[in-house]
A = this chain, B = another copy of it.
Amino acid sequence: MFTIGDFARHGRVSVRMLRHYDAIGLLRPDRVDGANGYRLYQAGQLARLNRIIALKDLGFTLQQVRSILDEQVSAEQLRGMLKLRQSDLREQIAADEARLAHVEARLRMIENEGHMPDEDIVVKRIPPIRVAMLSGLAASYEPEAIGPVIQPLFHELGTRVIGAGLSVGPPFIAYYEDAPDGVVVHAAIQVSVEPGTDYDFEIVDLPEIPHAATIVHRGSMEHVVPTSQTLARWIDANGYSSTGYAREVQIECPGDNVDLWVTELQEPVTK
């Protein structure tokens, strides 16, 4: 017979753990002294304690350990639980390796520039969205070429959407596609209508972007280039690669002051 302290020393666990396992019914002492409540264990119970520790070390919860030990799971169910643990662990490892790569990218930035960037980039899923849309063609993918095309498009689109009796407000979305003779420019405004109705603009469901590297740009789109470059460098430094032009989502754009505009760039990426 061992007191809880001796049993803990032999099992190389804490006394608190043994009390906890008693409390949740995972490992009851062999008997409890009626007079003083002392827990008393048998040496043979070390075998069960070892099984508990071994299963716990595999990453099972104590609930799972209990049902495995109390033979409430068949060999086949156990195989299923192990398979699940296996894939969870693989995911966990992959996620931690991604995190590690990001940490190392940050360290490289500090080595190179002496500080971390002030703007921050986050990879998110962008859900699909239904928009009213007009399109045009620009000579190249530069602010000087895009601006004169997209601004009239948004103006015209706003007029037509209001004319169709729909409400207009942010987010306003600009996005781009390569064309043989330049860049196709799309101006889009979120709307909630059923498709099929006939309007003097397109109704399009923009697809989700499973992985978009995003950054917030403040101020006029004339000065978006440094922000885009920060985004591009980050994508590169973190082992992603771009799979298209960024969507530009105007989150706030008071008409009177472009310095207060807030735009999110959403660039589709893959690892």
Interface residues of A (CB under 8 A from B): 10, 12, 42-44, 46-47, 50-51, 53-55, 57-59, 75, 78-79, 82-83, 85-86, 89-90, 92-93, 96-97, 99-100, 102-104, 106-107, 110, 114-116, 119-122, 124-125, 171, 214-216, 218, 251-252, 260, 262, 264
Whether A96 contacts B102 in the complex (CB less than 8 A), given A12-B125, A57-B122, A86-B107, comes out as no
- Whether the Cβ atoms of B110 and A78 lie closer than 8 Å is yes
The DSSP consensus for interface residues of chain A is helix
Among candidates B54, B106, B115, B216, residue contacting A50 with C-beta atoms closer than 8 Å: B216
Among candidates B12, B50, B53, B116, residue contacting A78 with C-beta atoms closer than 8 Å: B116
Which residue, of A50, A103, A107, has the highest number of chain B Cβ atoms within 10 A? A103
List the number of copies, as a whole number.
2
Task: Provide the residues of chain B in CB contact with A12, threshold 8 Å.
Answer: 124-125
- Whether the Cβ atoms of A264 and B116 lie closer than 8 Å is no
Among candidates B79, B97, B103, B214, residue contacting A85 with C-beta atoms closer than 8 Å: B103
- Whether the Cβ atoms of B47 and A218 lie closer than 8 Å is yes
- Whether the Cβ atoms of A100 and B90 lie closer than 8 Å is yes
Task: Provide the residues of chain B in CB contact with A59, threshold 8 Å.
Answer: 99, 103
- Whether the Cβ atoms of B99 and A50 lie closer than 8 Å is no
Among candidates B43, B47, B106, residue contacting A120 with C-beta atoms closer than 8 Å: B47
A112, chain B: closest CB distance, angstroms: 12
- Whether the Cβ atoms of B89 and A107 lie closer than 8 Å is no
Among candidates B53, B78, B214, residue contacting A122 with C-beta atoms closer than 8 Å: B53
Query: Besides the contacts A44-B260, A47-B120, A93-B97, what 5 more A-B pairs have beta carbons closer than 8 Å?
Result: A12-B125, A43-B252, A44-B262, A50-B216, A93-B100
- Cβ contacts A to B, 5 pairs, < 8 Å: A43-B262, A47-B218, A58-B99, A75-B116, A89-B99
- Whether the Cβ atoms of A215 and B99 lie closer than 8 Å is no
A215, chain B: closest CB distance, angstroms: 7
Complex CA gap A90/B97 in Å reads 8
- Whether the Cβ atoms of B121 and A54 lie closer than 8 Å is yes
